[in-house]
């Protein structure tokens, strides 16, 4: 066929045939291949030099304004686009691949994870289920995590974008299971009495968001006080359940924490499991990072009882350093999990053979239909590093947190603000003679200086009225000297400021 003639069919004129043959693949694969190899080399070098190049820094105005440009309607050479990435994006990261990044709870990433992301994007599979190998890979990963966290072989699970989603999925199953009516049909409108959940005052915002999103309403969460160790007070919890029962409300479930975001506290999970069993309540554990202490043989006991929960959420992009965003939910009872979400369309149902010999099964366990092949990075990382290596690195971080806590306790100007049981150390500089308010301002200033001078990136939190410099070590690149350096940094900044003038900090 002559490619440049217009096609006419049934009196309808179509564009030129050559246009209909166009694709988005490159004209010159070799040129792209060369650039691709450079990208891989550059990024491996970036990770190899993480200590030198990957720290957080102020973003110059020029870089910010680069992202206020009009829509690129016409193609820009990919070499130029890559150059812009190197100039305006790569130098200004969050900083969490750096050995001294301990802010919030961030994973460090790995070269294998990076390469797995590339392979995933190359395959660009839609891991919706059906008969394709990606779904078998995901199943394998779920099987491994069930075993690692002590869940029964009959449990189910799903990979998600993080623990926020894991909490939402776990709590949806909890809500639907504990409701006294057919909640999928009538919603909470049909419930004869309010459904109540219980969580400690240290519980993460994503749990409350999930509760709100599920229509339970945050007022139906009893926020239970914590002990001095920041663990839920089980007696207060027991009492709150009785008060609700007496008032005719329906206790639905308890949210336990395996690693609170503020201090890394682990609720007494065995006691929560006993209580939930006795009371007929669902136990969901937010184990965003702490659940993975189960991989560290010498610290497994810290999360004892986790394996008795009904559902658990955890993130693989935190303490397992897999590329963002990757989390997981496990549900003890597969049938309850499936009953909560399964809704098959005609077009996603199974046929007698071919691709649809299995239906779009992933959507039976969650909200999403189309989804990426994030299982590949989990599978490759677990195989390439081995689960015991992860356990070893997690244990290393716990030892490091304890070492840091000791450094703090041995300096008379530093004050440890919470027990460092897991991997989080909360402390402040406290030279004495200052109010909490003054100390808060002083420590905020020290923290900002640590970050802006490129010494280290801890983050902050409030424990009661006290602002804490918070170091959360989910970082396989951190070395002992890094911990000593941050303490020196704190003391140096505080010392350079001289004896702080209390009035100036009011
Ligand atoms: C205890 C806890 N739960 C839930 C989350 C939310 O996890 P994600 O950021 O993976 O959604 C976090 C995040 O830091 C967390 O620390």
DSSP codes, 189-245: GG-SS-EEEEEETT--HHHHHHHHHTTS-GGGEEEE-B-TTS-B-HHHHHHHHHHHH
The Cα-based distances of 463 to 7, 152, 381, 413, 416 in angstroms read: 72, 37, 36, 19, 11
CA-atom Rg of the chain in angstroms? 26
- Asked if residue 254 lies in contact with residue 197, where contact means CB atoms within 8 angstroms, the answer is yes
- Residue 217 Cα to ligand 1 midpoint, Å, equals 20
- Residue 461 Cα to ligand 1 midpoint, Å, equals 15
Ligand 1 neighbourhood includes 287 CB (under 6 angstroms): no
**CA dihedral sign, ordered 481, 485, 488, 490:** negative
Q: Calculate the dihedral angle through the C-alpha atoms of 228, 393, 319, 475, rounding to the nearest 10 degrees.
A: 90
Around Cβ 433, how many Cβ atoms within 10 Å?
Answer: 9
DSSP state letter for 358:
S
- Residue 200 Cα to ligand 1 midpoint, Å, equals 15
Ligand 1: which residue has its CA nearest to atom 7?
163
Q: Give the Cα separation of 12 and 111 in Å (integer).
A: 54
The Cα-based distances of 331 to 138, 142, 334 in angstroms read: 15, 11, 6
- Residue 177 Cα to ligand 1 midpoint, Å, equals 24
Q: Give the Cα separation of 83 and 77 in Å (integer).
A: 10
Ligand 1 neighbourhood includes 222 CB (under 6 angstroms): no
Q: Which of 103, 162, 206 is the best mutation target for the ligand 1 pocket, counting ligand atoms within 8 Å of the beta carbon and taking the most?
A: 206
At residue 125, the 3 state secondary structure works out as coil
Ligand 1 neighbourhood includes 322 CB (under 6 angstroms): no
- Asked if residue 137 lies in contact with residue 376, where contact means CB atoms within 8 angstroms, the answer is yes
Ligand 1, residue 162: give the atom nearest the CA. Answer: 10
- Residue 166 Cα to ligand 1 midpoint, Å, equals 9
Kindly state the helix (H) or strand (E) to which residue 79 belongs, with its residue range.
Answer: helix 78-84
- Asked if residue 456 lies in contact with residue 102, where contact means CB atoms within 8 angstroms, the answer is yes
Ligand 1 neighbourhood includes 285 CB (under 6 angstroms): no
- Residue 457 Cα to ligand 1 midpoint, Å, equals 18
- Asked if residue 318 lies in contact with residue 289, where contact means CB atoms within 8 angstroms, the answer is yes
DSSP state letter for 90:
T
Ligand 1 neighbourhood includes 315 CB (under 6 angstroms): yes
Ligand 1, residue 317: give the atom nearest the CA. Answer: 10
User: Could you tell me how many residues make up the chain?
Assistant: 506
We find that the CATH architecture of domain 389-505 is: Alpha-Beta Complex (3.90)
Ligand 1 neighbourhood includes 163 CB (under 6 angstroms): yes
Ligand 1 neighbourhood includes 261 CB (under 6 angstroms): yes
The predicted structure's pLDDT at residue 17:
76
Ligand 1, residue 165: give the atom nearest the CA. Answer: 11
Ligand 1, residue 167: give the atom nearest the CA. Answer: 4
- Asked if residue 169 lies in contact with residue 366, where contact means CB atoms within 8 angstroms, the answer is yes
- Residue 204 Cα to ligand 1 midpoint, Å, equals 7
- Residue 101 Cα to ligand 1 midpoint, Å, equals 17
- Asked if residue 157 lies in contact with residue 330, where contact means CB atoms within 8 angstroms, the answer is yes
- Residue 164 Cα to ligand 1 midpoint, Å, equals 6
- Overall fold of domain 123-385: 3.40.640
Kind of pairing between the strands at 311-315 and 327-331:
antiparallel
- Residue 179 Cα to ligand 1 midpoint, Å, equals 26
Pair of tokens at residue 243:
């008060």
Indicate the domain borders of the chain: 123-385, 389-505
Ligand 1 neighbourhood includes 288 CB (under 6 angstroms): yes
Kindly state the helix (H) or strand (E) to which residue 462 belongs, with its residue range.
Answer: strand 457-463
The predicted structure's pLDDT at residue 2:
45
Ligand 1: which residue has its CA nearest to atom 12?
288
Ligand 1 neighbourhood includes 451 CB (under 6 angstroms): no
- Residue 163 Cα to ligand 1 midpoint, Å, equals 5
| Phi, then psi, of 159 in degrees rounded to 5 | -85, 140
Ligand 1, residue 259: give the atom nearest the CA. Answer: 1
Per-residue pLDDT of the chain (506 residues; tens, 9 = 90+): 444 557 778 888 888 778 889 999 999 999 999 999 999 999 999 999 999 999 999 999 999 999 999 999 999 999 999 999 999 999 999 999 999 999 999 999 999 999 999 999 999 999 999 999 999 999 999 999 999 999 999 999 999 999 999 999 999 999 999 999 999 999 998 899 999 999 999 999 999 999 999 999 999 999 999 999 999 999 999 999 999 999 999 999 999 999 999 999 999 999 999 999 999 999 999 999 999 999 999 999 999 999 999 999 999 999 999 999 999 999 999 999 999 999 988 999 999 999 999 999 999 999 999 999 999 999 999 999 999 999 999 999 999 999 999 999 999 999 999 999 999 999 999 999 999 999 999 999 999 999 999 999 999 999 999 999 999 999 999 999 999 999 999 999 998 765 555 555 55
Ligand 1 neighbourhood includes 308 CB (under 6 angstroms): no
**CA dihedral sign, ordered 379, 383, 388, 394:** negative
Ligand 1: which residue has its CA nearest to atom 10?
162
Cβ-count burial of 321 within 10 angstroms (0-12 exposed, 13-18 middle, 19+ buried)? buried
Ligand 1 neighbourhood includes 262 CB (under 6 angstroms): no
Q: Give the Cα separation of 229 and 200 in Å (integer).
A: 12
Ligand 1: which residue has its CA nearest to atom 2?
288
Around Cβ 278, how many Cβ atoms within 10 Å?
Answer: 10
Ligand 1 neighbourhood includes 372 CB (under 6 angstroms): no
């Amino acid at each position: 066929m002559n490619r440049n003639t217009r096609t006419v069919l049934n009196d309808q004129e179509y564009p030129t045939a050559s246009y209909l043959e166009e694709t988005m693949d490159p004209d010159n694969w070799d040129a792209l291949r060369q650039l691709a190899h450079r990208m891989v080399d550059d990024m491996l070098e970036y990770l190899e030099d993480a200590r030198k190049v990957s720290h957080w820094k102020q973003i110059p105005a020029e870089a910010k304004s680069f992202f206020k440009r009009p829509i690129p309607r016409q193609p820009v050479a990919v070499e130029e686009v890559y150059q812009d990435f190197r100039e305006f994006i790569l130098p200004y990261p969050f900083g969490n691949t750096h050995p001294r990044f301990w802010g919030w709870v961030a994973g460090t990433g790995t070269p294998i994870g990076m390469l797995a992301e590339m392979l995933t994007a190359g395959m660009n599979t839609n891991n919706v289920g059906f008969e394709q190998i990606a779904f078998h890979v995901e199943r394998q990963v779920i099987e491994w995590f069930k075993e690692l966290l002590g869940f029964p072989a009959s449990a189910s699970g799903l990979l998600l974008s993080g623990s926020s989603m894991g909490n939402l999925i776990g709590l949806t199953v909890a809500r639907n299971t504990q409701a006294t009516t057919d909640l999928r049909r009538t919603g909470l409108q049909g419930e004869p009495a309010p459904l109540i959940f219980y969580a400690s005052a240290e519980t993460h915002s994503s749990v409350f968001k999930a509760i709100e999103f599920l229509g339970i309403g945050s007022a139906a969460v009893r926020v239970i006080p914590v002990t001095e160790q920041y663990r839920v007070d089980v007696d207060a919890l027991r009492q709150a359940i009785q008060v609700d029962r007496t008032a005719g409300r329906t206790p639905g479930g308890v949210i336990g924490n395996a690693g609170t975001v503020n201090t890394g506290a682990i609720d007494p999970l065995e006691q929560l499991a006993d209580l939930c069993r006795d009371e007929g309540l669902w136990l969901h554990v937010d184990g965003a990072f702490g659940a993975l202490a189960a991989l560290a043989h010498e610290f497994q006991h810290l999360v004892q009882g986790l394996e008795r929960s009904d559902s658990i959420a955890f993130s693989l992009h935190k303490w397992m350093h897999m590329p963002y965003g990757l989390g997981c939910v496990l549900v003890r009872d597969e049938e309850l999990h499936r009953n909560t979400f399964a809704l098959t369309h005609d077009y996603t149902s199974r046929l007698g053979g071919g691709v649809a010999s299995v239906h779009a099964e992933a959507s039976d366990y969650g909200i999403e239909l189309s989804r990426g092949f994030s299982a590949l990075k989990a599978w490759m990382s677990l195989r390439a590093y081995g689960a015991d290596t992860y356990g070893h690195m997690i244990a290393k971080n716990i030892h490091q947190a304890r070492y840091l806590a000791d450094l703090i306790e041995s300096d008379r100007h530093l004050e440890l603000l919470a027990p460092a049981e897991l991997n989080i150390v909360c402390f402040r500089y406290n030279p004495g003679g200052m109010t909490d308010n003054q100390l808060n301002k002083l420590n905020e200033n020290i923290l900002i200086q640590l970050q802006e001078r490129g010494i280290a990136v801890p983050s902050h939190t409030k424990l009661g009225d006290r602002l804490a410099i918070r170091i959360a070590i989910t970082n396989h690149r951190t070395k002992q000297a890094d911990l000593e350096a941050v303490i020196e940094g704190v003391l140096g900044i505080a010392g350079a400021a001289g004896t702080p003038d209390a009035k100036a900090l009011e």
